[in-house]
């Protein structure tokens, strides 16, 4: 029980410190404390599947769409310890858009026009219906202003609409010739604004008609419209591929006027996603995680305050702010960035948490001085010299191999077992630049648990019900001896209180 508790603590620590939080203008953000040290023969574990879309029907409840076609749900998304549940499995077609007009309806679209609908999206136990909306072109964006109205655009230059999102029946009409839509937002008045790849904004007050009327306006520097948010019919904000932010208080007029609030490239690095829960609050985030927040979005560049939202190579590609007290965004590395105070620019206003990582912590070993070592499913080893200090954890990689077992007899011996039959040992695992040695016991020796009571004795069990022992754990493969155990059940763990005396348990409760 104690081991399980420690493991849970380490998982929480990993979630908290693996992702840097934001920094405000004029303040010094805390550094990213994770360090990477390559161990023999491999690079660090890659991140999870890129997230591509997000919608939060209420503060703290979000639906996330992934490029692997799956959907994730969290009802505790205001916490870095949030639980994200996969509610729709993966598919060859990526999820490109999600919109939830209420807590009683969420709609998602895959690129091929597959529609995923839930009338109880806050419950992970409720299945999502899957239908096709019948488009021959790739869907690129979606907007559902009410539970009885959804609109989508595709890369064939069409707008698709439905008055019954749960029916799977959608109508289609062409946008103005020569336009390629990139984003769409529709207000509660059932009017729509569409951004295009050449910097135009198309507006219509009858988008669901068989022959809707569209007004086209070129805005900004002419680059593609990368973000669009219209909380009312009298206010819209847009982000462009050149890092601009523009607003309009007449987006549906016959001759709408758009004003540049943030000029290209200062301070945002292209492109920009934007979300405005009200006309009195807008959040814009650029590809490099730099962000701007304004409580007076039409007030010019001086009304937009910079904030830093993590330091990552993967861009934030989607943003959802259902209220002025909550925003969440998705990035290309399987993480969500979020804030419960998006109007604030203090350094910790934004935090991050993993949604779709490839690795989770498997095993942990902690010593009396509070130093700990853990291993994960992605082939990484995590170490800290003080488990009570959330900052000082380091990540090391043994390659993309599951590491289900680890133990440290002291700071001068740690041994990690791999599912591929390879053991790794280090005499300085907690050093700034540790060295690790790999010992191959054979492909049939998938190590599942290990115990090292002293530096001079280790024992391990494998998936073939063998017990491996060594009085020289730092030796080569010849230093390890295997014997078959008299148990026909899968083994679950080994513990050796002193050298030469071990207890092995199996999955049926026998020891």
Provide the token pair at 176: 């103005």
Residue 261 near residue 297, CB atoms below 8 Å: yes
* CA gap 171, 211 in Å, rounded: 11
Q: Residue with structure tokens 């290990």?
A: 450
Q: Comparing C-alpha atoms, which of 8, 46, 23 is closest to residue 351?
A: 23
pLDDT, position 7: 28
In the numeric block, which tokens belong to residue 28? 């010094």
Decide: 155 and 112 in contact? Cβ < 8 Å: no
Residue 79 makes CB contacts below 8 A (sequence gap 6+) with: 353
Helix/strand/coil for 32: coil
Q: Which residues pair with 498 in a beta bridge?
A: 501
Helix H or strand E encompassing 15: helix 2-17
Q: For residue 235, which of 287, 284, 188, 181 has the smallest C-alpha distance?
A: 188
- Length in residues, the chain: 511
pLDDT of 31 reads 28
The pLDDT, as a whole number, for residue 155 is 95
Along the 511 residues of the chain, how does pLDDT read in single tens digits?
223 222 222 222 232 222 222 222 332 333 222 333 222 323 333 445 688 899 999 888 999 998 889 999 988 888 766 678 889 988 889 999 999 999 999 999 999 999 999 999 999 888 999 999 988 899 999 999 999 999 999 999 999 999 999 998 999 999 999 999 999 999 878 899 999 999 999 999 999 998 999 999 999 888 899 999 999 999 999 999 888 999 999 999 999 999 999 998 766 667 889 999 999 999 998 877 778 899 999 999 899 988 767 555 567 888 989 889 888 888 777 777 888 888 887 767 787 776 654 455 667 788 877 788 888 777 888 888 775 554 466 778 877 788 889 999 999 999 999 888 999 999 999 888 889 999 999 878 889 999 999 999 999 999 888 999 999 999 999 999 999 988 777 888 898 888 989 988 877 777 7
Half-sphere exposure (CA, 13 Å, Cβ side) for 435? 3
Give the span between the Cα atoms of 315 and 266, in whole angstroms.
17
pLDDT at 8: 26
């Amino acid at each position: 029980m104690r081991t399980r508790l420690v493991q849970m603590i380490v998982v929480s620590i990993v979630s908290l410190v693996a992702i840097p939080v934001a920094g405000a203008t004029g303040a010094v953000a805390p550094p990213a404390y994770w360090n990477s040290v390559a161990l023999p023969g491999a690079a660090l574990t890659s991140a999870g599947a890129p997230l591509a879309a997000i919608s939060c029907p209420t503060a703290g409840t979000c639906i996330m769409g992934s490029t692997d076609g799956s959907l994730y749900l969290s009802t505790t998304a205001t916490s870095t310890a949030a639980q994200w549940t996969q509610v729709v499995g993966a598919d060859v077609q990526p999820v490109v858009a999600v919109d939830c007009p209420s807590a009683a309806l969420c709609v998602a679209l895959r690129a091929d026009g597959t529609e995923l609908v839930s009338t109880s999206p806050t419950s992970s136990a409720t299945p999502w219906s899957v239908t096709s909306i019948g488009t021959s072109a790739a869907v690129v964006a979606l907007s559902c202003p009410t539970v009885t109205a959804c609109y989508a655009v595709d890369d064939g230059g069409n707008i698709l609409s439905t008055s019954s999102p749960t029916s799977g029946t959608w109508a289609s009409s062409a946008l103005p010739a020569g336009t390629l839509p990139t984003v769409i937002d529709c207000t509660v008045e059932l009017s729509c604004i569409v951004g295009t790849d050449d910097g135009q904004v198309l507006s219509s007050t009858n988008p669901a008609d068989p022959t809707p009327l569209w007004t086209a306006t070129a805005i900004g520097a002419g680059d593609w419209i990368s973000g669009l948010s219209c909380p009312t019919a009298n206010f819209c904000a847009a982000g462009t591929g050149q890092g601009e932010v523009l607003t309009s208080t007449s987006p549906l007029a016959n001759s709408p006027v758009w004003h540049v609030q943030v000029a290209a490239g200062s301070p945002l690095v292209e492109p920009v996603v934007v979300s405005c829960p009200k006309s009195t609050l807008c959040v814009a985030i650029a590809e490099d995680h730099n962000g701007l927040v304004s409580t007076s979005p039409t007030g010019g560049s001086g009304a937009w305050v910079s904030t830093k939202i993590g330091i990552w190579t993967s861009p934030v590609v989607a943003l959802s702010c259902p209220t002025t007290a909550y925003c969440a965004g998705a990035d290309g590395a399987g993480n969500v960035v979020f804030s419960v105070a998006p109007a604030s620019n203090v350094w910790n206003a934004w935090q991050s948490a993993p949604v779709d990582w490839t690795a989770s912590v498997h095993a942990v070993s902690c010593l009396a001085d509070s130093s700990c070592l853990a291993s994960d499913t992605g082939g990484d080893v995590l170490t800290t010299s003080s488990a009570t200090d959330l900052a000082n954890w380091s990540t090391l990689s043994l390659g993309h191999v599951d590491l289900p077992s680890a133990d440290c007899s002291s700071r001068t011996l740690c041994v990690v077992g791999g599912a591929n039959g390879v053991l790794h040992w280090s005499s300085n695992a907690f050093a700034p630049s540790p060295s690790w040695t790999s010992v191959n016991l054979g492909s049939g020796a998938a190590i599942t648990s290990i115990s090292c009571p002293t530096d001079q004795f280790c024992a391990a069990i494998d998936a073939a019900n063998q017990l491996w022992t060594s009085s020289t754990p730092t030796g080569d493969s010849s230093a390890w001896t295997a014997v078959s155990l008299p148990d026909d059940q899968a083994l679950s763990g080994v513990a050796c209180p002193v050298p030469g005396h071990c207890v092995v348990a199996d999955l049926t409760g026998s020891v």
